[in-house]
A and B are shown apart, each in its own frame.
Chain A
Amino acid sequence: MLKLINLILITSDRKHCSISFVLVGVVYTYICLVNALFMKNIDIKSLEEKFQKKIDADIKIEPNDWMPDNYRATLIRQISQHAHSEIVGMLPEGNWITRAPNLRRKAVLLAKVQDEAGHGLYLYCATETLGADREETIDDLHSGKAKYSSIFNYPTLSWADMGAIGWLVDGAAIMNQVPLCRCSYGPYARAMVRVCKEESFHQRQGFEIMTKLASGTKEQKEMAQDALNRFWWPSLMMFGPSDADSKHTDQSMKWKIKRHTNDELRQQFVDITVPQAEMIGLTIPDNDLKWNESTKSYTYGAINWDEFWQVVGGNGPCNKERVDARRKAKEDGKWVVEAAMAFANKRSAKKSA
């Protein structure tokens, strides 16, 4: 509408263009603008209502559907964090591939870390369906702007850590991710179905490593217990801050991006994992851990939230090493990417010539 009025003003003979004509134009513009804004408000409100109705009816939201800006932003943040976690998560386990104790364990660990790279890849693709740029989200990881799961900032110090990570870290990841298979955003939910299948395989592998160690020699048992001691509390922290301190939970539950609160999932993890530890003869490093007959669940000791926020904030034992390793991979690979692009351009130029 503004364009139209400009056009009228420009094409009218300036000499005869009276003030009243300009005034009429300005008033008209004003009316149109107010009208447009009003209509827009109504539109967004009704779109939001329709959107929420779809969510409430468990109809999946697809990339081309209308969605609130915040829903989009929340998903981009969550899915890219998830993708970064898969990619950074390759490093602590990658640390032990060359030292795996036998050929079978080496092959299984290689396959596992490769699966994680695959998960990262399709999660980055899921963020792209929301209009995010893969390289930009990766640069956010490298600059420290984007976060990833805090567990990967802990070092892997023994072979038993490969067991502990599979058993506890993948176990906790499954608790988080199984409900995401029903997430309201279609591409994320579908990616999660595949990811969960592979994660549950990883979890069993990890538990199998721990079982073998726990039934092995004295050195092996000690190695397994030590890994459990170091990874237990960080695994509980993987579910995020307690519900009282979780700023994203409410809205995410309403949008069905999230189906359970952090504390609910944490409790579920403890209840499943404690009997597994008992079964293989390892001790959970928590003196306050008790079975509660009335709630039919375990009560557990206080989580050290100072440590959690320190690690999330960049002060974990390996934060710098993990991000540096990822940044170095990208910087070292820059000439390779440039070469591949130059080559592709040359070939398409040849084809069109």
Chain B
Amino acid sequence: MTKQEALYNYVLRLGDDSLILGQRLAELCGHGPILEEDIALTNISLDLIGQATLFLDYAGALGGEKKSNDDLAFLRLEKEYVNALLLEQPNGHFGDTIMRQFLFDAFRKPLLESLQHSSEKELASIAEKALKETKYHLKHSSEWVIRLGDGTDESHDKIQGSLHTLYRYSHELFFEDESDFLLQKSKIVPELNSIKLEWEKTVKNVFEMAGIALPENDWKFEGGRQGRHSEHMGFLLTELQYMQRTYPNMEW
């Protein structure tokens, strides 16, 4: 594997995480629990679609076939998407949406903090831009986890339930394979061990303030990074790809 191939795989993961979570949040537009949250979630979705646009554009240039960001976003097979399973999970209730977001933001922020200093200039500059948005996303999702955890009995039980459902997907955020190792060796990307330490610190701190507990069951799912998805993914892609599949090769 060449460095360029490894970088393509790596950037594709960053792009797909943003794309798939952005698509999920877009489903909520117009249906948020209160108007202010409708705006906030739509805003986060918009940021993520913007990040996907940049990452996938970069990936397209790195790939052998010179694909555009739209080709990559809309015209791959399900097994070619490499987002983490966490991000394709359905929105559920507001607590589920917030917990999914929090587990991801707490990982994404330290990762981007490190990537903004990458020796690959393009990667560093996208990371720097995305970091600004991600800091706000993490602040927003942390505050809601705490608010729901320490709100009413009902909200406490709900957000605790969300954690039970989603925690088993968080392990996969730290998935590494030969692409990572190759790039780590050249100091282009950080080792995920160091990111995981930061993630654990944030998660522990916020859950403590929220008064919710980590599940004892520590079963760990993975598969998304290797293109093996959950049953939800096919439906998500059906919507995402509808226009491009129905009307191939057209300009919009």
Chain A interface residues toward B at CB < 8 A: 87, 90-91, 94, 97-107, 110-111, 113-114, 117-118, 120-121, 124, 159, 209, 212-213, 216-217, 219-220, 325, 328-330, 332-333, 335-340, 342-343, 346
Contact = CB atoms under 8 A, between A and B. Distances in A.
A338 B31 contact: no
Interface in B67-91: 69-70, 73-74
Interface string B240-252: 1011100100111
Given A219-B250, A340-B147, 17 more contacts: A98-B27, A99-B243, A101-B247, A101-B252, A103-B52, A103-B69, A107-B49, A110-B26, A111-B46, A118-B39, A213-B252, A216-B251, A335-B152, A336-B37, A338-B151, A339-B147, A342-B151
A101 B247 CA distance: 9
Contacts of B46: 107, 110-111, 114
Interface in B24-68: 26-27, 29-39, 42-43, 45-46, 49-50, 52-53, 56
Nearest to B148: A339
**Which secondary structure dominates where chain A touches chain B?**
helix
B94 interface: yes
A98 B34 CA distance: 21
B26 A336 contact: no
A333 B32 contact: yes
B74 A110 contact: no
**Which secondary structure dominates where chain B touches chain A?**
helix
Nearest to B243: A101
Contacts of B147: 339-340, 343
Interface residues of B, number: 47
B250 A216 contact: yes
A103 B94 contact: no
Residue of B35, B150, B152, B243 with most chain A CB atoms under a 10 A cut-off: B35
A330 B30 CA distance: 11
A263 to B, nearest CB: 32
A25 to B, nearest CB: 56
A114 B154 contact: no
B142 to A, nearest CB: 13
A91 B49 CA distance: 20
B239 interface: yes
Given A97-B26, A102-B74, A336 B247 contact: no
B155 interface: yes
Contacts of B69: 103
B42 A98 contact: no
A113 B42 contact: yes
B33 A117 contact: no
CB-CB nearest 7 A-B residue pairs = A333-B33, A339-B151, A339-B155, A94-B30, A101-B243, A90-B30, A101-B252
A329 B33 contact: yes
A344 B55 CA distance: 39
Nearest to B150: A343
Nearest to B43: A114
A325 B28 CA distance: 11
B187 interface: no
B233 to A, nearest CB: 14
B155 A336 contact: yes
B140 interface: no
A102 B252 contact: yes
A351 to B, nearest CB: 14
A90 B93 CA distance: 20
B33 A337 contact: yes
B117 interface: no
Interface of B: 23, 26-27, 29-39, 42-43, 45-46, 49-50, 52-53, 56, 69-70, 73-74, 93-94, 146-148, 150-152, 154-155, 158, 239-240, 242-244, 247, 250-252
B30 A99 contact: no
Contacts of A100: 243
B49 A99 contact: no
A98 B27 CA distance: 6
Given A329-B31, A333-B94, A107 B50 contact: yes
A335 B154 CA distance: 7
A113 B252 contact: no
A103 B247 contact: no
Nearest to A117: B39
A337 B50 contact: no
A294 to B, nearest CB: 42
B100 to A, nearest CB: 15
Contacts of B151: 338-340, 342-343
Nearest to A331: B33
B35 A335 contact: no
A120 B35 contact: yes
A329 B32 contact: yes
A332 B33 contact: yes
Nearest to A113: B29
B155 A335 contact: yes
Nearest to B236: A98
A226 to B, nearest CB: 14
B50 A339 contact: no
B29 A339 contact: no
B30 A220 contact: no
A104 B34 contact: no
